[in-house]
Amino acid sequence: MEKFNSVFGELKTKTEGYDASSYNGFLAIQVTLKDLDAPNNVFYIEIKDGTLSIEPHEYGDRQANLILSSDNFVKMMNGKLNSVLAFTTGKLKIEGDLNKAKELSTVFKK
C-alpha cells in the first residue's frame, strides 16, 4: 500500500493544475501496477468535458489498460522511459485502444 500511495501521490502532484480544457474528446485510461497487490494496484486517468480526474480504483468503461511495474510507470511519467520503447521491449502491456493510450502522453508532457 505504501508503494501505491507513493506512485499515486506523485502522479497527483505532477498533474496538479493540469489544464485539460484544450483536449477535445474523452479519455479513460486505467493503469495496473503489476508488481503491487490488488486492490491497491490500479487507478484511472480520465479527461472528460475538459477536466482531468485521477482516482484510485478500476474504470469499467476504460478505453485502454496500461499494465506495467510501478517503477516503470514513474519513469514514464517523468520522461525517463519512452512509452513506445517500453511497449516494444515488453515493459508495458496495453489492452484496448493503442491510440488512446498514446494520447495519455500529452498529460505527462505538460
Summarize pLDDT for 32-66 with one digit per residue, the tens: 999 999 888 999 999 999 999 999 999 989 999 99
pTM of the model: 0.92
Residue 28's DSSP bridge partners are: 46
Give the 3-state secondary structure of residue 65: strand
pLDDT band at residue 110 using 50, 70 and 90 as cut-offs? low
40 by Cβ neighbours in 10 Å (0-12 / 13-18 / 19+) ranks as middle
Q: Does domain 2-105 have CATH number 1.10.3720.10?
A: no
